[in-house]
Amino acid sequence: MDYRISEPVVGPRREDTLPASVTTAVKVVIVGGFGVGKTTLVGSVSEIRPLTTEEIMTQAGAGVDDIAGVERKNETTVAMDFGRITLSDELVLYVFGTPGQQRFWFLWNGLFEGALGAVVLIDTRRLEDSFDVMGRLEERGVPFIVAINAFPDAPTYPASELRQALDIPDGVPVIDCDARERVSSRDGLLTLMRYLHALTTTNPERR
């Protein structure tokens, strides 16, 4: 039996409740390869201790072999960390960090629909991981910026070289970031918003 729900309900702590006046919620998604600092970034900007949400992924047809071994061959549960920032009395921003090792996060229905955009975190020691991630975003038409998470022993490249190596489209901002720092992570989100703002005001027909 499962008594979890029958026990006194675990809900948000008092200090984690949103003002009753909040009417609008928006979301952004932090993506990147395994261990690039997605969860760290979510935690550093979030006003609440990051939470974990989950979804059941059903994978039909191609790729079923890849998840052989789970009880139902074509079902797998994917977990995602997220945090929250109350921006005003009416507006709240949710920041979702995709899992690095689970392979089907991009099939999560509704993750990218309605998202303002995405931040692609990059570790220069493992550049190859970022191709796949950026490809998925482009497929879905999700606007993104690129943030290079500065690990101490990671090689540094001039931005132009990275842009070329990773085939980052012109106009997509590339910035340095330290996901452990709240201000640096916040600035990453701001860079994304400025970029979206520019896209919206210069080319309203896009997407």
Ligand X SMILES: Nc1nc2c(ncn2[C@@H]2O[C@H](COP(=O)(O)OP(=O)(O)OP(=O)(O)O)[C@@H](O)[C@H]2O)c(=O)[nH]1
User: Which residues here bind other proteins, judged by CB under 8 A?
Assistant: 2, 4-6, 9-12, 17-20, 22-27, 45, 51-56, 58, 71-72, 75, 77, 82, 84-88, 91-94, 96, 109-111, 113-116, 182, 186, 189-190, 193-194, 196-197, 199-201, 204, 206-207
User: Which residue bears the tokens 């990218």?
Assistant: 112
User: Which residue bears the tokens 């201790």?
Assistant: 49
Please say whether the dihedral angle defined by the alpha carbons of residues 158, 162, 165 and 170, taken in this order, is positive or negative: negative
Work out how close the CB of 88 gets to other proteins at its nearest, in angstroms, rounded to a whole number.
5
Interaction partner, residue 64 (Mg ion, ligand X, other proteins, none; CB < 5-8 Å by kind): none
- DSSP letter at 25 equals E
Interaction partner, residue 27 (ligand X, other proteins, Mg ion, none; CB < 5-8 Å by kind): other proteins
DSSP secondary structure letters along 136-157: HHHHHT--EEEEEE--TTS---
Q: Which of residues 101-160 bind ligand X (CB under 6 A)?
A: 101, 149-152
**Which CB, 52 or 200, lies closer to ligand X?**
52
35: enclosing H helix or E strand: none
Interaction partner, residue 149 (Mg ion, other proteins, ligand X, none; CB < 5-8 Å by kind): ligand X
In the bound state, the residue with its beta carbon closest to Mg ion is 39
- Among residues 50, 111, 55, 109, the alpha carbon closest in space to that of 82 is found at 50
Interaction partner, residue 66 (Mg ion, ligand X, other proteins, none; CB < 5-8 Å by kind): none
Distance CA 74, CA 116 (A): 30
Q: Is 45 in the site for ligand X (CB under 6 A)?
A: no
Q: Is 184 in the site for Mg ion (CB under 5 A)?
A: no
Distance CA 20, CA 35 (A): 36
Distance CA 12, CA 125 (A): 38
Which listed residue (28, 31, 38, 45) binds ligand X by CB under 6 A? 38
